[in-house]
Structures are given as structure tokens and as C-alpha cells.
Amino acid sequence: MKTVTLKIPDSLDVKIQRAVARRNESFSDLARRALARETEEQEVDFARLAAPYRGMFKGPPDLSTREGYGNKNHR
């Protein structure tokens, strides 16, 4: 694992220390979980973005079922 050093304001340190004590966990565990959650939210999930448009377009649900698809004479 990599070691990371960061500076935080005193007010945030107080909140972190309370959360750590309440959850009975280490600062590192809390920080890893928070950083993982923050970075996961930044990733684009195409399926979630495309969900509102599902079913709006005509055509077979599976292109492999379209007649002539992949057939050399189809061109």
C-alpha cells in the first residue's frame, strides 16, 4: 500500500475523530472508504446514462437475429 500525507483543517479533524470513535475504526479505514466512494462516483456508467432511452429505437433487440446479418451476399 502507498502512504499518503494530507493537510486538513482543524474543524474537519474534529469531525473525523468523532466519526472514527463512533465507528470504532481507524482513520485510515475511514479515509480509504471515503476516497473509494468519491472515485467510484466519478466513473461514467453507460448503462445508467442510457437507461432513460431504452426502448426508444426500432430494431431487433439482438442484432445477431437480424436476417442476412453477416451474410456475404447481404451487401
- Here the cell at position 36 is 473509494
Q: What is the pLDDT of residue 53?
A: 86
- For 11-55, the pLDDT digits (tens) are 999 999 999 999 999 999 999 999 988 887 666 778 878 888 887
Q: What is the pLDDT of residue 65?
A: 64
Domain locations along the chain: 7-52
- Dihedral angle, C-alpha 47, 50, 51, 57, nearest 10 °: -130
- CA distances (Å), origin 5, targets 24, 36, 51: 22, 17, 40
Q: What is the pLDDT of residue 12?
A: 95
Identity of the residue numbered 30: L
Question: Does the pTM exceed 0.75?
Answer: no
